[in-house]
Amino acid sequence: MTNIDTFLPGSGGGTIDSTKLRNQGRKCILLHKKKDVDETLKLAKAVGLDVVECVFQSGKENQKSFFGTGKLNSISAEFEMKNPTHPWYGVDLVLVHTNASPIQIVELNKILKLECWDRVRLLLNLFTTQANSVEAKLQVKLAKLNADKTIMREYANIQNRGERLGWGAGGKHALESNMKIIDREISTLLKKKSRREKSERERRKHRIKNGIKSIGLVGYTNAGKSSLFQNMAGKPVLIQNQLFSTLETTIGRMQKSPRILMVDTIGFVDNLPTILLDAFKSTIKESISCDLILLVVDISDSKKEFKRKLQTTLTELESHKENFNLNLIQPVLTKCDLVNEKKVLSFSEALLNYNLKEPIITSSVSNHGIELLREVILTKLFQKPKTVSILPPTENNHISQLAIISHLHELGYIISETKIDTRGEIQVTMWVDDVALIRYAAKSNNQLKI
């Protein structure tokens, strides 16, 4: 392994366990130009990092080194003192509160002589610890390799200009060797990704052909999507009060419903780097290429955070979905058990400024609003329940009424069954897709009357 591996986020990434172990309790400082660093600190905490100090510099961002070189030289001098009583003693990582350019990362690394992560690399390390499925691991690894490649390309540019590569860069041979390895890995992963995407497209076509409806859960990370999914689909998923606890797509059938699939996937975040957006494009598409989109928003946030996260989510939705249509979006305000009625009313009114529908107020803890949300979903997708009649078998038709009812349970969700006369006719009221019902009725030899 070359020295360059100590600087890069992984030449393709380490294992989940090794990443967790390597970063747990690791000391770092955070360089920032913007005073609002709360989200970055939460991301660092989720990775396991210990941010011992936030270092602020006012003024414009230096295009080459983020901070001015004078400030960076001063920071470097403090590190070089290695004073055991200094708060920075033991720090071996520098975080940068921005999506830094490759030249900024290389220059910071050169001056400070420490490993440097911007938001891209911080998110990549977090994603590495959170990726559980084959799909998520593939996407994270691809993003990491592309991030590595941009840095190596910058080192190659420096080399071509005849400059010294700096701390941790390795030699010319090591650089060229790593570039070739990365190119081969990216090519292999892209082929795997393409095959998986093709399989997913085929599955989606099959679901549509069979009249299966789908609902996508979208929202800012940690908005409560997975809790809502588990409550309505009854399918266990990882639920943590932590950013990006969900990376992979989870699909489950909504309980007390016809064949409606709920799709839960990665949450959005401000200025999500292009490298990550490209890697997770297919995963995001899975949740928004649905018949209905539940826009999940955390009502326990401050009003400023509420608006920021809502705007980010809507912007990302619009950028990912062709023919963006607000009519397909149903807002859902979560965690209402944590706030009072006045705040619920205030935030509900705020949604109207975005031309969104009236939200459904929910809590996955108290189950408040869950059944109302289910009713709204069913009405939007199926308009109203259908009532059908099942005739008893005759000499020509030997299908039992129980067999027909059993099949109707597969097709939809039965609300009631009523025997309506002495001849044994049974009337069934149910939520069901029109096309699927008509197809089955055509096969029932007139025993099923719509």
Domain assignment present for 309 = yes
Statement to judge: residues 96 and 152 lie in one domain: yes
Q: Name the residue among 220, 218, 225 with its Cα closest to residue 335.
A: 225
CA distance 13 to 18: 10
Both 240 and 177 in one domain: the answer is: no
Give the C-alpha separation, 239 to 245, whole Å. 7
The whole domain housing 396 covers 386-449
**CA pair distance 203, 197, nearest whole angstrom:** 10
Q: Is residue 46 part of a domain?
A: yes
Q: Is residue 110 part of a domain?
A: yes
Q: Are residues 230 and 251 in the same domain?
A: yes
Are 402 and 360 within one domain? no
Count of domains for the chain: 3
Backbone torsion region of residue 91, taken as left when φ is above 0, otherwise alpha when ψ lies between -120 and 50, otherwise beta: beta
Residues 444 and 343 in one domain: no
Residues 6+ apart with CB under 8 A from 310: 220, 297, 351, 354
Best CA proximity match to 179, nearest among 139, 137, 151: 151
Task: Please indicate, yes or no, whether residues 160 and 216 belong to a single structural domain of this protein.
Answer: no
Tell me which H or E stretch contains 178. helix 172-209
Token code pair at residue 186:
């990216």
pLDDT in tens, the chain (450 residues): 333 333 333 333 333 344 456 788 899 999 999 888 998 998 899 889 999 999 999 999 999 999 999 999 999 999 998 889 999 999 999 999 999 999 999 999 999 999 999 998 998 888 887 777 777 788 888 888 998 898 888 888 777 766 555 545 455 667 788 888 999 999 999 999 889 888 888 888 888 777 789 999 999 988 899 889 989 988 765 445 444 555 567 888 899 888 899 988 777 888 777 777 776 676 677 777 889 999 999 999 999 999 999 998 898 888 876 667 888 999 999 999 999 999 999 999 999 889 899 999 999 999 999 999 999 999 999 999 999 999 988 777 778 889 999 999 988 999 999 988 777 899 999 999 888 899 899 888 888 988
Q: Are residues 182 and 237 in the same domain?
A: no
The DSSP 8-state label assigned to residue 66 in this structure reads B
* Model pTM score: 0.78
Which residues fall within 8 angstroms of residue 332, CB to CB, at 6 or more apart? 228, 294, 295, 296, 297, 359, 360, 362, 373
Q: Does residue 80 fall inside a structural domain?
A: yes
Residue 199 covered by a domain: no
Nearest to 356 by CA among 320, 387, 380, 332: 332
Q: Are 157 and 184 contained in the same domain?
A: yes
369 and 406 housed in the same domain: no
